[in-house]
Amino acid sequence: MGLLAASPLATAQTTPLKVLKKVPPEFPAEAARRKISEGVLKAKVSVDGQGAVTNVQIIEAVPERAKVFNESAISALSRWKFESTGKADATEIKLVFSQDE
């Protein structure tokens, strides 16, 4: 139960950055109460030159009710660490949540 996959995505607006430390998000109790067992989020993660996360923005939730995972995803992604590039950058991360029943 929890996160199935988390991976940086290459897009025209962001750079796929090398992840050094991943913190898995918790499966929210609210999702279980609302019987939401899965969802996919896409987040834009801003990173400073030393690889520390400076901002996380959820840009897509599929299906719409997967927004229940937003807080958990933001909390976890805020603690990720990326390889230092010496300059501020951003990357997109796809998070797949699934709970075994």
Beta strands in the chain (DSSP E): 2-9, 19-21, 38-47, 53-62, 81-82, 89-98
pLDDT digits (tens, 9 = 90+) for 11-37: 545 668 999 999 999 999 999 999 999
CA 71 to chain centre: 10
More confident residue, 2 or 90: 90
Could you tell me which CATH class the domain 2-98 is placed in? alpha beta
What are the residue ranges spanned by the domains of the chain? 2-98
Average pLDDT for the chain:
88
What is the per-residue pLDDT across 34-79, written as a single tens digit (0 to 9) for each?
999 999 999 999 999 999 999 999 999 999 999 999 999 999 999 9
User: Residue 1 pLDDT > 50, yes or no?
Assistant: no
- Cα gap 49→97, rounded to integer Å: 29
